Chain A
Amino acid sequence: MLEGRGQKIVVVDNDRTVLELLQIRLEVAGYHAHIVRTGAQALDLLKHLHPAAMILDLRLADTDSFDLLQTIRARHPDQHFPILATGRGLVADDLRRALSAGAQNCLIKPYSGTDAVERVGRLIQACHFPGAHAIELTKPRAVA
């Protein structure tokens, strides 16, 4: 049985390989992936889309992802979808900033598609069952 049940997931990442990888993995898991490469495109997409979750790269080329996180939360206070922040070479301060700017969880690149999809599923579940929610920072690689 597909776990996603057609829930919409927005993925924001500069890297085309990461976007296609996540699109395939999310679609196979039963989600509907909406993928964009810039912060501006993400904001535009959110004008008419109510996603179940978002995966956001913290190293976007066109915008400061921490500002983008705050903008998304400020513009859509009625939407409480979880945001999974990702990025290569993130340090502890990046993780703290992301969580305080509105992300629920962080996943450091490089990660596997399986990890990302499982993490999204848990975040959505935690959103519907807040008692089960727990902030969790995974560190596949050493963080300075």
Chain B
Amino acid sequence: MDGSDLSEDSALKATISNTFDVLGWEIELAAARSIYLDSIIGRMIGLLPDERKAEFVESMHTVDLLSQQLTGLSAFTRRMSGEAPDVHAYVHTALEQIPLGALADRMGVALGGVEKDINDGDGAGDLDLF
């Protein structure tokens, strides 16, 4: 499906470069969340008796690998953002594939969609996002 069956207003288009850019930020955020999880596991291990630490060390290594994987993918995507041709693509149907509403909404706004007033709701004041 492309944008031909939607009105001009609802068919969200973005450049390939911007799409890579937005994707890169989201992967970078996923990496940050993974690093945060890694730090939590590290702190938990520090509280455990020595005989139980080994159970969690493997989990920490797995999360560390995940962080590295996401960081690498983010770097790749950032670089691709700079290399991508200046052409547009419809992104609304791809966004509809994302079941996590907050993520789809955030990406839609970053890709050129309309956002509600940023002074409303969680956009106001000193934010606390996690």
Contact = CB atoms under 8 A, between A and B. Distances in A.
A28 B35 CA distance: 8
Contacts of B126: 34-36, 41, 45
B35 A21 contact: no
Range of interface residues on chain A? 20 to 34
Interface stretch (A75-83, A92-100, A106-114): A106-114
Interface string A110-123: 11111000000000
Given A36-B125, A41-B126, A18 B25 contact: yes
B82 interface: yes
Contact of B78 (A25, A36, A110): A110
B127 A19 contact: yes
The secondary structure that dominates the B interface is helix
A61 interface: yes
B31 interface: yes
23 contacts: A16-B109, A17-B110, A20-B29, A21-B32, A23-B129, A23-B130, A24-B29, A24-B32, A24-B130, A27-B36, A28-B36, A35-B127, A37-B118, A38-B118, A41-B125, A44-B125, A61-B118, A88-B21, A110-B21, A110-B25, A110-B81, A112-B28, A112-B75
Interface of A: 14-21, 23-25, 27-28, 34-38, 41, 44-45, 61-62, 88, 109-114, 140-142
